[in-house]
Amino acid sequence: MSKKSEKKLPERLEEALEELEAVVEKLESPEMPLEDSLSLFERGSQLSKICFDKLQEAERKVEILLKKVPQPQARSDFEVQNFQEVE
């Protein structure tokens, strides 16, 4: 395994996204040797999984929070009136 794939993976979403963007930019270079491209692709796959997992975790937390928030109740002293234009 190359040094790049042995590098510690970031724990924060923002760090993983930033590194993933840099990996994609490097992979777009036509001069990159195949061996380096494969190592970068592997790293990018790991970073992509971190991003996906972090976003899923955040989504679950938001769903839990939304279930805890009381939903607004209709007011019994409020009556909807239908107004029509008078000609």
pLDDT at res. 1: 43
pLDDT tens for residues 65-84? 988 877 766 566 666 666 66
Cα 59 to the center of its chain, rounded Å = 9
Q: How confident is the model at residue 7 (pLDDT cuts 50, 70, 90)?
A: confident
**Run of H or E including 63:** helix 34-68
Can you list the domains of the chain with their CATH numbers? 9-67 (1.10.287.1040)
DSSP character at residue 85 = -
pLDDT at 34 over 80: yes
**Average confidence score pLDDT of the chain:** 86
pLDDT computed for residue 54 by the predictor = 97
Q: Is the pTM of this model over 0.75?
A: no
